[in-house]
Amino acid sequence: MDISVIVPLKNEEESLPELAAWIDRVMKEHQYSYEVWMIDDGSTDNSWDIIQQLAAANPNVKGIKFQRNYGKSAALNEGFRAAHGDVIITMDADLQDSPDEIPELYRMIKEDGYDLVSGWKKKRHDNAVTKNLPSKLYNYTTTRMSGVRLHDMNCGLKSYRRKVIKSIEVYGEMHRYIPVIAKWNGFRKIGEKVVEHRARKYGTSKFGLERFINGFLDLASIMFISKFGKRPMHLFGALGTLSFILGFGIALYLAIEKIIYSQYKMTERPIFYLALLAMIIGSQLFLTGFIGELVTRNAPERNEYLVETILDRTK
């Protein structure tokens, strides 16, 4: 199969028939074999009924329905599991992403050799204060922290090589950082394409201001897991050792000063309690790293790694 299109959605009953017809028209014009996975993330309107009707009329349309709302990351993750295409395209269901972008996104993966191509909504039809400005700040911060240089990290319109989406897992709000996750899984050829951003035709946005707080926390989680997920002692042990040495050094200095000058009681000096606190925190951090190592060493996936190629001419 050439292309799998994954469409996460919640309460988008008005736009689904138009979106499905548009995708089908593009696929037929370019003679692609395809499937469309519509992931209903706990809709309370008639979205699932519409999906069933579309699937009955077109066998290329398929659906997954959650019992409740889990979020966009969960919907994408289930879509990634179900996809069979050589190239996977993700897009939103609100018609703000244009299916006419699919052929070029497909070509960039198949011919230009990209692992992932992210859309860049250079000209946006959103509120400048509540959407555009926070988006610019978010993209700047994420680029600086992750090293993945994209203008529109959170654009829902993306294309992926099949093995990329089969090698990653997204949850929480981590769909915003799929390019970062892909890069840290060894997929280095990440590009972007300027895409059309259409004004919303139906409904309202499903995301509020809390997405920025949750997004930052998820970015911190991704950075920690990618760097120290299999070696937590390297972080906690190092921090704990430094903290303990600092506290012990201060305590030793106070003890020597007391022996030589005998001016103050050690317990009368505030810096003594700072030294004591540093040693306690250092010990706790070191023990946290030790426990983390025990958990990691006993995890069933402790020795699972992403292998790109095996060359063995004896077989």
Q: What is the mean pLDDT of residues 92-101?
A: 92
**Is the pLDDT reported for residue 202 higher than 90?**
no
Residue 203 and residue 165 in one domain: yes
Residue 21 and residue 123 in one domain: yes
Q: Out of 2-6, 12-16, 109-113, 123-127, pick the least confident.
A: 123-127
Of 227, 249, 271, which closes a domain?
Answer: 227
Residue 188 and residue 243 in one domain: no
Strand positions, DSSP E, 121-245: 158-161, 190-194
Predicted confidence band at 85 (pLDDT cuts at 50, 70, 90)? very high
Residue 223 and residue 262 in one domain: no
- Provide the residue range defining the domain that includes 289: 233-297
pLDDT of residue 311: 45
**Is the pLDDT reported for residue 193 higher than 90?**
yes
Domain count, the chain: 2
| 308 inside domain | no
| 242 inside domain | yes
pLDDT digits (tens, 9 = 90+) for 297-315: 666 565 454 555 454 455 5
Residue 18 and residue 69 in one domain: yes
Residue 28 and residue 158 in one domain: yes
212: CATH: 3.90.550.10
Residue 218 and residue 254 in one domain: no
Separation of alpha carbons 63 and 220, rounded Å: 32
Q: What is the pTM of this model?
A: 0.71
Residue 71 CA: distances (Å) to CA of 74, 109, 206: 6, 27, 10
pLDDT digits (tens, 9 = 90+) for 129-155: 555 566 677 667 777 767 788 888 878
Predicted confidence band at 257 (pLDDT cuts at 50, 70, 90)? confident
Residue 95 and residue 239 in one domain: no
pLDDT of residue 226: 63
Residue 65 and residue 173 in one domain: yes
Is pLDDT larger for residue 122 or for residue 28?
28
**Is the pLDDT reported for residue 77 higher than 80?**
yes
| 55 inside domain | yes
Residue 82 and residue 195 in one domain: yes
**Degrees to nearest 5, angle at CA 12 with 10 and 17:** 135
